[in-house]
Amino acid sequence: MLGDPVSQDRDGSVLTHIRDERIERTDPTVRLYRTRERQDFHTDGSDLVALLCLAKAATGGESWIASSAAIYNEVLRRRPDLLEVLYSPMPWDRNGEEAAGDPQYFELAPLNDIGGSPRLFYISWYIRDSQRHPQAPRLTAEQYEAIELIEAIANEPRFHVEMVFEPGDVQILNNGRILHARNTYQDHPDLDRRRHLLRLWLSAASAHSVAEPLRSGIPRR
Any idea what the CATH number is for the domain that residue 121 is in? 3.60.130.10
User: What share of residues in the chain are helix, strand, coil (percent, to 5)?
Assistant: 25, 30, 45
Nearest to 135 by CA among 108, 98, 100, 107: 107
Q: How large is the average pLDDT for residues 182-209?
A: 89
Domain range for residue 21?
4-207
> Does any domain span residue 218?
no
Give CA–CA dist 93/137, Å, rounded: 11
On the question of pLDDT at 73 being above 80, the answer is yes
- C-alpha count within 13 angstroms, C-beta hemisphere, residue 165: 31
Split at pLDDT 50, 70, 90, the class of 214 is low
Which pLDDT score is estimated for 153?
A: 98
Domain count for the chain, please give it.
1
Domain assignment present for 80: yes
Lowest mean pLDDT among 72-81, 109-118, 169-178: 109-118
User: Lowest-confidence range among 6-15, 66-75, 94-103, 194-203?
Assistant: 94-103
Is 200 inside any structural domain? yes
19 within some domain: yes
- d(CA 148, CA 142) in angstroms, rounded, equals 10
> Is 139 among the domain residues?
yes
Residue 213 has pLDDT above 70, yes or no: no
CB-based contacts of 217, cutoff 8 Å, min separation 6: 6, 7, 8, 45, 46, 201, 203
3-class SS of residue 168: coil
Average of per-residue pLDDT across 32-43: 94
pLDDT at 85: 97
Tell me what pLDDT residue 97 has.
84
The answer to whether 97 and 9 are in contact (CB under 8 A) is: yes
Report the residue count for the chain.
221
